[in-house]
């Protein structure tokens, strides 16, 4: 069984590269069952969007 610590590590790593298929399957199951990690997963995408908005300038 994958735990939250391992799941969040992979969710961060997925921002750098496509995860191996076997990781993706186990991760998907964990995220389906765990609302905290589901929130974390959304926040990884949000963090990237916010960082880009921050560096590019949000007022344009």
Partner 1 sequence: MIKPQKDLDPSIETCTTDLSDPVFLSDLRLQMLKFAVLQLSDVSLAEDAVQEALVGALKNTGSFGRRAAFKTWVFAILKHKITDIFRQRKKLVYNSELSPNDDDDFGDQLFGAAGRWEKDARPVKWSNPLESVKTDHFWKVFDACLNNLPETQARIFMMREFLELDSSEICETQDITTSNLHVILYRSRLRLRKCLETNWFLEGDKL
Contacts of 40 (CB under 8 A, 6+ apart): 7, 8, 11
State the minimum distance, in angstroms, from the CB of residue 28 to partner 1.
18
Joined together, the tokens standing for residue 10 give: 């992979």
Q: How far is the CB of 3 from partner 1 (least distance, A)?
A: 3
CB nearer partner 1, residue 18 or residue 22:
18
**Residue 50 beta carbon to partner 1: minimum distance, rounded to whole angstroms:** 7
The site for partner 1 (CB under 8 A) is made up of 3-6, 8-9, 12-13, 15-17, 36-37, 39-40, 42-44, 46-60
């Amino acid at each position: 069984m994958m735990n939250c610590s391992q799941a969040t590590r992979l969710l961060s790593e997925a921002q750098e590269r496509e995860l191996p298929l076997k990781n993706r399957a186990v991760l998907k199951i964990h995220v389906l069952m765990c609302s905290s990690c589901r929130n974390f997963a959304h926040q990884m995408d949000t963090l990237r969007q916010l960082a880009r908005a921050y560096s590019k300038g949000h007022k344009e």
